Amino acid sequence: MTVTHRETPHVPNPSPDTDAPVGVWLNGARGSVATTAITGLLALRAGMADSTGCVTDTGMLRDAPLASWNDLVVGGHDIVDTPLEKKAESLVDSGVIPAPMLAAVRGSLPEVERNLRTGYDARTETAPLAEVVERLAGDIEEFRARNGLSRVVVINVSSTEPPADHRPEHDDLDALTRAMADPDDKALPASSVVAYAAFQAGCGFVDFTPSTGARLPALEMMAQRERVPFAGSDGKTGETLLRTALAPMFTSRALHVLSWAGVNLLGGGDGATLEDPRNARSKLSSKSGVLPALLGEDVTAPLHIDNVPDLGDHKTAWDHVSFEGFLGVRMSMQLTWSGVDSTLAAPLVLDLARLTAAAHRAGHVGPIEELGFFFKDPIGTDEHALAEQAQALAAWANALDGRGDS
Protein backbone atom coordinates (compact mmCIF):
# COMPACT_ATOMS: atom_id res chain seq x y z
CA MET A 1 0.00 0.00 0.00
CA THR A 2 1.44 3.34 -0.96
CA VAL A 3 0.43 6.77 0.08
CA THR A 4 0.89 8.49 -3.18
CA HIS A 5 -1.09 11.64 -2.71
CA ARG A 6 -0.91 14.15 0.09
CA GLU A 7 -4.30 15.56 0.86
CA THR A 8 -4.03 19.36 0.80
CA PRO A 9 -5.86 21.13 2.17
CA HIS A 10 -6.67 18.45 4.67
CA VAL A 11 -10.26 17.47 5.18
CA PRO A 12 -10.59 16.97 8.92
CA ASN A 13 -12.08 13.62 9.74
CA PRO A 14 -15.67 14.22 10.72
CA SER A 15 -16.44 12.83 14.13
CA PRO A 16 -20.14 12.02 14.07
CA ASP A 17 -19.71 8.81 15.95
CA THR A 18 -16.89 9.54 18.37
CA ASP A 19 -18.23 10.77 21.66
CA ALA A 20 -16.11 13.88 21.77
CA PRO A 21 -14.46 15.79 23.32
CA VAL A 22 -11.28 13.92 24.18
CA GLY A 23 -8.62 14.95 26.70
CA VAL A 24 -4.89 15.01 26.01
CA TRP A 25 -2.90 15.04 29.24
CA LEU A 26 0.74 15.88 28.65
CA ASN A 27 3.25 14.89 31.28
CA GLY A 28 6.01 17.45 30.71
CA ALA A 29 3.48 19.99 29.48
CA ARG A 30 5.85 22.94 29.67
CA GLY A 31 8.61 21.32 27.57
CA SER A 32 9.45 21.96 23.93
CA VAL A 33 7.52 19.10 22.40
CA ALA A 34 4.44 19.76 24.52
CA THR A 35 4.43 23.51 23.96
CA THR A 36 4.83 23.04 20.21
CA ALA A 37 1.97 20.54 20.19
CA ILE A 38 -0.26 22.88 22.22
CA THR A 39 0.52 25.99 20.17
CA GLY A 40 0.21 24.02 16.96
CA LEU A 41 -3.14 22.55 17.91
CA LEU A 42 -4.46 26.02 18.69
CA ALA A 43 -3.07 27.30 15.37
CA LEU A 44 -4.71 24.41 13.51
CA ARG A 45 -8.01 25.23 15.13
CA ALA A 46 -7.57 28.91 14.37
CA GLY A 47 -7.00 28.02 10.72
CA MET A 48 -3.51 29.54 10.96
CA ALA A 49 -1.72 26.29 10.14
CA ASP A 50 -2.42 23.22 8.10
CA SER A 51 -1.72 19.79 9.50
CA THR A 52 1.54 19.11 7.70
CA GLY A 53 3.37 16.51 9.78
CA CYS A 54 0.17 14.97 11.16
CA VAL A 55 -0.22 11.44 9.91
CA THR A 56 -3.83 11.24 11.04
CA ASP A 57 -4.84 13.84 8.50
CA THR A 58 -3.51 11.95 5.48
CA GLY A 59 -5.44 9.77 3.08
CA MET A 60 -3.66 6.78 4.60
CA LEU A 61 -5.92 6.99 7.67
CA ARG A 62 -8.99 8.34 5.99
CA ASP A 63 -11.31 5.73 7.46
CA ALA A 64 -10.04 5.86 11.02
CA PRO A 65 -12.76 7.04 13.47
CA LEU A 66 -10.80 9.92 14.98
CA ALA A 67 -11.75 12.89 17.12
CA SER A 68 -11.46 16.15 15.20
CA TRP A 69 -8.89 18.78 16.16
CA ASN A 70 -11.72 20.81 17.66
CA ASP A 71 -12.59 17.99 19.98
CA LEU A 72 -9.20 17.81 21.71
CA VAL A 73 -8.79 19.49 25.12
CA VAL A 74 -5.26 19.75 26.54
CA GLY A 75 -4.05 19.62 30.14
CA GLY A 76 -0.97 18.26 31.85
CA HIS A 77 1.67 18.02 34.55
CA ASP A 78 5.10 19.56 34.76
CA ILE A 79 7.57 20.18 37.55
CA VAL A 80 8.65 23.62 36.43
CA ASP A 81 6.33 26.60 36.31
CA THR A 82 7.58 28.43 33.21
CA PRO A 83 4.42 29.93 31.71
CA LEU A 84 3.44 28.29 28.44
CA GLU A 85 3.53 31.69 26.82
CA LYS A 86 7.12 32.26 27.83
CA LYS A 87 8.14 28.82 26.63
CA ALA A 88 6.34 29.45 23.33
CA GLU A 89 8.23 32.73 22.95
CA SER A 90 11.52 30.95 23.38
CA LEU A 91 10.40 28.50 20.70
CA VAL A 92 9.68 31.43 18.41
CA ASP A 93 13.21 32.69 18.99
CA SER A 94 14.69 29.32 18.16
CA GLY A 95 12.72 28.95 14.94
CA VAL A 96 10.29 26.24 16.03
CA ILE A 97 7.11 28.33 16.17
CA PRO A 98 6.59 31.07 13.57
CA ALA A 99 6.02 34.41 15.27
CA PRO A 100 2.67 35.13 13.56
CA MET A 101 1.36 31.78 14.75
CA LEU A 102 2.08 32.53 18.36
CA ALA A 103 0.59 35.97 17.92
CA ALA A 104 -2.62 34.44 16.60
CA VAL A 105 -3.08 31.92 19.42
CA ARG A 106 -1.57 33.77 22.35
CA GLY A 107 -5.05 34.60 23.64
CA SER A 108 -5.98 30.94 23.85
CA LEU A 109 -2.96 29.82 25.86
CA PRO A 110 -4.36 30.80 29.30
CA GLU A 111 -7.19 28.34 28.76
CA VAL A 112 -4.63 25.52 28.48
CA GLU A 113 -2.53 27.04 31.25
CA ARG A 114 -5.51 26.64 33.59
CA ASN A 115 -5.45 22.89 32.94
CA LEU A 116 -1.84 22.44 34.02
CA ARG A 117 -0.91 21.00 37.43
CA THR A 118 2.28 20.32 39.36
CA GLY A 119 3.80 16.96 38.47
CA TYR A 120 5.79 14.49 40.49
CA ASP A 121 9.37 15.47 41.20
CA ALA A 122 11.30 12.54 42.66
CA ARG A 123 14.09 14.80 43.89
CA THR A 124 11.83 16.74 46.27
CA GLU A 125 8.80 14.53 46.91
CA THR A 126 8.45 13.19 50.46
CA ALA A 127 5.05 11.46 50.29
CA PRO A 128 4.83 7.73 49.51
CA LEU A 129 4.31 6.92 45.82
CA ALA A 130 0.79 5.68 46.60
CA GLU A 131 -0.14 9.20 47.62
CA VAL A 132 1.60 10.69 44.61
CA VAL A 133 -0.44 8.44 42.37
CA GLU A 134 -3.62 9.52 44.12
CA ARG A 135 -2.74 13.14 43.53
CA LEU A 136 -1.77 12.71 39.86
CA ALA A 137 -4.76 10.50 39.03
CA GLY A 138 -6.97 12.94 40.87
CA ASP A 139 -5.71 15.81 38.72
CA ILE A 140 -6.52 13.88 35.58
CA GLU A 141 -9.98 12.83 36.79
CA GLU A 142 -10.79 16.36 37.80
CA PHE A 143 -9.70 17.54 34.31
CA ARG A 144 -11.89 14.92 32.67
CA ALA A 145 -14.89 15.77 34.79
CA ARG A 146 -14.53 19.53 34.61
CA ASN A 147 -14.29 19.45 30.80
CA GLY A 148 -16.92 16.77 30.24
CA LEU A 149 -14.46 14.58 28.39
CA SER A 150 -15.37 11.13 27.09
CA ARG A 151 -11.85 9.94 27.81
CA VAL A 152 -8.32 11.16 28.36
CA VAL A 153 -5.05 9.98 26.85
CA VAL A 154 -1.99 10.56 29.03
CA ILE A 155 1.17 11.18 27.01
CA ASN A 156 4.60 11.29 28.57
CA VAL A 157 6.75 13.99 26.96
CA SER A 158 8.84 14.75 30.00
CA SER A 159 12.63 14.64 30.26
CA THR A 160 14.27 11.30 29.57
CA GLU A 161 15.16 9.35 32.73
CA PRO A 162 18.02 6.91 33.29
CA PRO A 163 17.07 3.23 32.82
CA ALA A 164 15.50 1.85 36.02
CA ASP A 165 17.12 -1.00 37.90
CA HIS A 166 15.01 -4.10 37.96
CA ARG A 167 13.17 -4.99 41.15
CA PRO A 168 11.03 -8.06 41.84
CA GLU A 169 8.05 -5.76 42.56
CA HIS A 170 8.12 -4.70 38.89
CA ASP A 171 6.84 -8.13 37.98
CA ASP A 172 4.03 -8.28 40.52
CA LEU A 173 1.32 -5.67 40.77
CA ASP A 174 0.32 -6.50 44.35
CA ALA A 175 3.89 -6.40 45.61
CA LEU A 176 4.41 -3.16 43.75
CA THR A 177 1.31 -1.55 45.24
CA ARG A 178 2.48 -2.54 48.73
CA ALA A 179 5.96 -1.11 48.14
CA MET A 180 4.43 2.16 46.96
CA ALA A 181 2.82 2.67 50.33
CA ASP A 182 6.27 2.95 51.91
CA PRO A 183 7.34 6.64 51.96
CA ASP A 184 11.00 5.62 51.82
CA ASP A 185 10.68 3.33 48.85
CA LYS A 186 10.90 4.88 45.39
CA ALA A 187 9.78 1.62 43.87
CA LEU A 188 9.10 3.16 40.45
CA PRO A 189 10.80 5.79 38.30
CA ALA A 190 8.74 8.93 37.63
CA SER A 191 7.58 7.85 34.16
CA SER A 192 6.14 4.64 35.62
CA VAL A 193 4.43 6.53 38.42
CA VAL A 194 2.74 8.54 35.69
CA ALA A 195 1.72 5.40 33.80
CA TYR A 196 0.36 3.94 37.05
CA ALA A 197 -1.65 7.09 37.69
CA ALA A 198 -2.95 7.12 34.11
CA PHE A 199 -4.15 3.55 34.37
CA GLN A 200 -5.64 4.16 37.80
CA ALA A 201 -7.61 7.07 36.31
CA GLY A 202 -8.85 4.75 33.55
CA CYS A 203 -6.82 6.44 30.84
CA GLY A 204 -4.79 5.20 27.91
CA PHE A 205 -1.09 5.98 28.18
CA VAL A 206 1.52 6.77 25.53
CA ASP A 207 5.22 7.03 26.21
CA PHE A 208 6.88 9.35 23.73
CA THR A 209 10.15 9.04 25.66
CA PRO A 210 12.58 6.15 26.15
CA SER A 211 11.91 6.11 29.91
CA THR A 212 10.49 3.01 31.59
CA GLY A 213 6.86 4.19 31.58
CA ALA A 214 4.40 1.32 31.28
CA ARG A 215 7.00 -1.26 30.29
CA LEU A 216 6.94 -3.33 33.46
CA PRO A 217 4.95 -6.56 33.83
CA ALA A 218 3.15 -5.17 36.87
CA LEU A 219 1.97 -2.12 34.93
CA GLU A 220 0.99 -4.18 31.94
CA MET A 221 -1.15 -6.24 34.34
CA MET A 222 -2.68 -3.05 35.58
CA ALA A 223 -3.55 -1.86 32.05
CA GLN A 224 -5.26 -5.20 31.49
CA ARG A 225 -7.12 -4.87 34.75
CA GLU A 226 -8.26 -1.33 34.00
CA ARG A 227 -9.02 -2.33 30.39
CA VAL A 228 -7.00 0.54 28.88
CA PRO A 229 -4.59 0.61 25.97
CA PHE A 230 -1.03 1.87 26.00
CA ALA A 231 1.68 2.58 23.45
CA GLY A 232 5.34 3.53 23.13
CA SER A 233 8.24 3.98 23.29
CA ASP A 234 10.29 6.93 22.20
CA GLY A 235 8.99 8.95 19.27
CA LYS A 236 10.75 8.15 16.00
CA THR A 237 11.47 11.52 14.47
CA GLY A 238 14.96 11.71 13.01
CA GLU A 239 17.93 9.45 12.53
CA THR A 240 15.99 6.36 13.57
CA LEU A 241 13.12 7.26 11.26
CA LEU A 242 15.58 7.38 8.38
CA ARG A 243 17.15 4.11 9.41
CA THR A 244 13.83 2.31 9.39
CA ALA A 245 13.20 3.61 5.88
CA LEU A 246 16.67 2.79 4.59
CA ALA A 247 17.84 -0.38 6.28
CA PRO A 248 15.10 -2.44 4.53
CA MET A 249 16.48 -1.18 1.21
CA PHE A 250 19.79 -2.88 1.90
CA THR A 251 18.10 -6.06 3.04
CA SER A 252 15.71 -6.33 0.13
CA ARG A 253 18.57 -5.73 -2.28
CA ALA A 254 20.75 -8.39 -0.60
CA LEU A 255 23.43 -5.80 0.16
CA HIS A 256 25.44 -6.67 3.22
CA VAL A 257 25.71 -3.83 5.74
CA LEU A 258 29.05 -3.98 7.56
CA SER A 259 28.77 -0.97 9.84
CA TRP A 260 26.35 1.86 10.49
CA ALA A 261 27.84 4.67 12.52
CA GLY A 262 25.91 7.68 13.75
CA VAL A 263 26.26 10.91 15.62
CA ASN A 264 23.50 13.24 16.81
CA LEU A 265 24.14 16.88 17.62
CA LEU A 266 21.41 18.74 19.46
CA GLY A 267 20.85 21.42 22.07
CA GLY A 268 17.70 22.52 23.87
CA GLY A 269 16.26 20.85 26.96
CA ASP A 270 16.63 17.41 25.43
CA GLY A 271 20.29 18.07 24.56
CA ALA A 272 21.02 19.18 28.11
CA THR A 273 19.24 16.16 29.60
CA LEU A 274 21.03 13.71 27.35
CA GLU A 275 24.42 15.25 28.15
CA ASP A 276 24.15 13.23 31.38
CA PRO A 277 25.36 9.79 30.28
CA ARG A 278 22.85 8.08 32.57
CA ASN A 279 19.95 9.64 30.71
CA ALA A 280 21.64 9.10 27.37
CA ARG A 281 21.78 5.40 28.14
CA SER A 282 17.99 5.17 27.87
CA LYS A 283 18.00 6.91 24.51
CA LEU A 284 20.90 4.90 23.14
CA SER A 285 19.31 1.68 24.26
CA SER A 286 15.98 2.66 22.73
CA LYS A 287 17.70 3.29 19.41
CA SER A 288 19.83 0.17 19.51
CA GLY A 289 17.27 -2.46 18.59
CA VAL A 290 16.51 -1.08 15.16
CA LEU A 291 19.49 -2.14 13.10
CA PRO A 292 19.81 -5.74 14.31
CA ALA A 293 16.09 -6.26 13.76
CA LEU A 294 16.18 -4.79 10.26
CA LEU A 295 19.50 -6.19 9.11
CA GLY A 296 19.09 -9.62 10.63
CA GLU A 297 22.43 -9.47 12.39
CA ASP A 298 24.53 -7.26 14.63
CA VAL A 299 26.68 -4.73 12.87
CA THR A 300 29.34 -2.37 14.21
CA ALA A 301 27.20 0.63 15.09
CA PRO A 302 28.89 3.30 17.20
CA LEU A 303 26.37 5.97 18.13
CA HIS A 304 26.84 9.31 19.86
CA ILE A 305 24.53 12.00 21.20
CA ASP A 306 26.27 15.32 21.80
CA ASN A 307 24.90 18.38 23.49
CA VAL A 308 25.65 21.34 21.21
CA PRO A 309 23.74 24.18 22.83
CA ASP A 310 23.92 26.59 19.90
CA LEU A 311 21.88 24.19 17.75
CA GLY A 312 18.89 24.35 20.07
CA ASP A 313 16.07 22.26 18.67
CA HIS A 314 17.80 22.06 15.28
CA LYS A 315 19.11 18.55 15.52
CA THR A 316 21.75 17.45 13.06
CA ALA A 317 22.45 13.76 12.67
CA TRP A 318 25.07 12.14 10.47
CA ASP A 319 25.01 8.48 9.54
CA HIS A 320 27.68 6.55 7.71
CA VAL A 321 26.81 3.16 6.30
CA SER A 322 29.47 0.85 4.95
CA PHE A 323 28.25 -2.09 2.94
CA GLU A 324 29.38 -4.89 0.71
CA GLY A 325 27.92 -5.80 -2.64
CA PHE A 326 28.49 -8.37 -5.35
CA LEU A 327 31.93 -10.00 -5.29
CA GLY A 328 32.66 -8.44 -1.91
CA VAL A 329 33.08 -4.90 -3.23
CA ARG A 330 32.83 -2.17 -0.54
CA MET A 331 30.60 0.85 -0.88
CA SER A 332 29.23 3.47 1.44
CA MET A 333 26.43 5.91 2.01
CA GLN A 334 26.16 9.00 4.15
CA LEU A 335 23.18 10.88 5.42
CA THR A 336 22.84 14.22 7.11
CA TRP A 337 19.53 14.95 8.73
CA SER A 338 18.81 18.54 9.79
CA GLY A 339 15.52 18.39 11.57
CA VAL A 340 13.77 20.55 14.08
CA ASP A 341 13.02 18.08 16.80
CA SER A 342 9.89 19.52 18.33
CA THR A 343 8.49 20.29 14.89
CA LEU A 344 8.77 16.64 14.04
CA ALA A 345 7.55 15.36 17.39
CA ALA A 346 4.58 17.63 18.10
CA PRO A 347 2.27 16.49 15.29
CA LEU A 348 2.97 12.86 16.20
CA VAL A 349 1.92 13.60 19.77
CA LEU A 350 -1.38 14.89 18.42
CA ASP A 351 -1.67 11.84 16.15
CA LEU A 352 -1.03 9.51 19.06
CA ALA A 353 -3.67 11.24 21.16
CA ARG A 354 -6.28 10.78 18.46
CA LEU A 355 -5.34 7.18 17.68
CA THR A 356 -5.04 6.04 21.28
CA ALA A 357 -8.37 7.63 22.12
CA ALA A 358 -9.93 5.79 19.19
CA ALA A 359 -8.35 2.52 20.30
CA HIS A 360 -9.56 3.04 23.85
CA ARG A 361 -13.04 3.76 22.59
CA ALA A 362 -13.00 0.68 20.36
CA GLY A 363 -12.12 -1.45 23.36
CA HIS A 364 -8.44 -2.07 22.69
CA VAL A 365 -6.71 -3.23 25.89
CA GLY A 366 -2.95 -3.44 26.52
CA PRO A 367 -0.10 -2.60 24.16
CA ILE A 368 -1.06 -1.26 20.73
CA GLU A 369 1.62 -2.76 18.57
CA GLU A 370 0.11 -1.20 15.44
CA LEU A 371 1.35 2.17 16.67
CA GLY A 372 4.94 0.94 16.21
CA PHE A 373 5.13 3.25 13.18
CA PHE A 374 5.62 6.14 15.60
CA PHE A 375 8.30 4.68 17.84
CA LYS A 376 12.00 3.87 18.00
CA ASP A 377 11.37 0.98 20.35
CA PRO A 378 7.86 -0.22 19.62
CA ILE A 379 6.13 -2.09 22.41
CA GLY A 380 4.85 -5.55 21.56
CA THR A 381 6.50 -6.04 18.19
CA ASP A 382 9.85 -6.46 16.46
CA GLU A 383 8.68 -4.91 13.22
CA HIS A 384 10.84 -1.83 12.57
CA ALA A 385 10.49 -1.48 8.79
CA LEU A 386 8.72 1.82 8.19
CA ALA A 387 6.66 0.83 5.16
CA GLU A 388 5.40 -2.30 6.88
CA GLN A 389 4.61 -0.29 10.00
CA ALA A 390 2.62 2.19 7.92
CA GLN A 391 0.62 -0.64 6.38
CA ALA A 392 -0.08 -2.22 9.77
CA LEU A 393 -1.13 1.13 11.19
CA ALA A 394 -3.49 1.87 8.33
CA ALA A 395 -5.04 -1.59 8.33
CA TRP A 396 -5.66 -1.41 12.05
CA ALA A 397 -6.79 2.20 12.39
CA ASN A 398 -9.07 2.20 9.39
CA ALA A 399 -10.82 -0.88 10.76
CA LEU A 400 -11.31 0.44 14.29
CA ASP A 401 -14.84 0.33 15.49
CA GLY A 402 -16.05 3.89 15.60
CA ARG A 403 -19.45 3.29 17.05
CA GLY A 404 -18.34 3.98 20.57
CA ASP A 405 -17.88 2.06 23.80
CA SER A 406 -19.66 -1.23 23.91
Site for ligand NAD, rule CB under 6 A: 27-28, 30-33, 77-80, 119-121, 157-160, 190, 208-209, 234-235, 237, 268-270, 273, 341-342, 344-345
Among Na ion, ligand NAD, a copy of itself, none, residue 378 binds (CB under 5-8 Å by kind): Na ion
What minimum distance in Å lies between the beta carbon of 339 and ligand NAD? 8
Among ligand NAD, a copy of itself, Na ion, none, residue 28 binds (CB under 5-8 Å by kind): ligand NAD
What minimum distance in Å lies between the beta carbon of 273 and ligand NAD? 6
Among ligand NAD, Na ion, a copy of itself, none, residue 160 binds (CB under 5-8 Å by kind): ligand NAD
171 by DSSP, 3-state: which? Answer: helix
Buried-state track 55-76, b at ≥16 Cβ within 10 A, e below 16: bbbbebbeebbbbbbebbbbbb
Residue 112 burial class via C-beta count within 10 angstroms: exposed 0-12, middle 13-18, buried 19 and up: buried
Side chain identity at 403, as an amino acid letter? Answer: R
30 by DSSP, 3-state: which? Answer: coil
What minimum distance in Å lies between the beta carbon of 382 and Na ion? 5
Nearer to a copy of itself, 110 or 302 (CB): 302
CA 272 from centroid of its chain's CA atoms: 19
Nearer to ligand NAD, 33 or 358 (CB): 33
Nearer to ligand NAD, 175 or 333 (CB): 333
* Gyration radius from the chain CA atoms: 21
DSSP structure string for 174-242: HHHHHHTT-TT---S-HHHHHHHHHHHTT-EEEE-SSS-TT-SHHHHHHHHHHT-EEEESSB--SHHHH
Nearer to ligand NAD, 69 or 375 (CB): 375
Strand order in the sheet with 204-207: 116-118, 72-78, 22-27, 151-156, 204-207, 229-232, 366-367
Site residues (CB under 8 A) for a copy of itself, limited to 272-291: none
Nearer to a copy of itself, 189 or 238 (CB): 238
Among Na ion, a copy of itself, ligand NAD, none, residue 208 binds (CB under 5-8 Å by kind): ligand NAD
Among Na ion, a copy of itself, ligand NAD, none, residue 365 binds (CB under 5-8 Å by kind): none
What character string, x for contact with Na ion (CB under 5 A) and - otherwise, covers 153-182? ------------------------------
Whether 212 contacts 376, CB under 8 Å: no
Judged by CB under 5 A, does residue 238 bind Na ion? no
Residue 111 burial class via C-beta count within 10 angstroms: exposed 0-12, middle 13-18, buried 19 and up: exposed
Site residues (CB under 8 A) for a copy of itself, limited to 157-176: none
Nearer to a copy of itself, 2 or 406 (CB): 2
14 by DSSP, 3-state: which? Answer: coil
Among 128, 312, 367, 378, binds Na ion (CB under 5 A): 378
Side chain identity at 67, as an amino acid letter? Answer: A
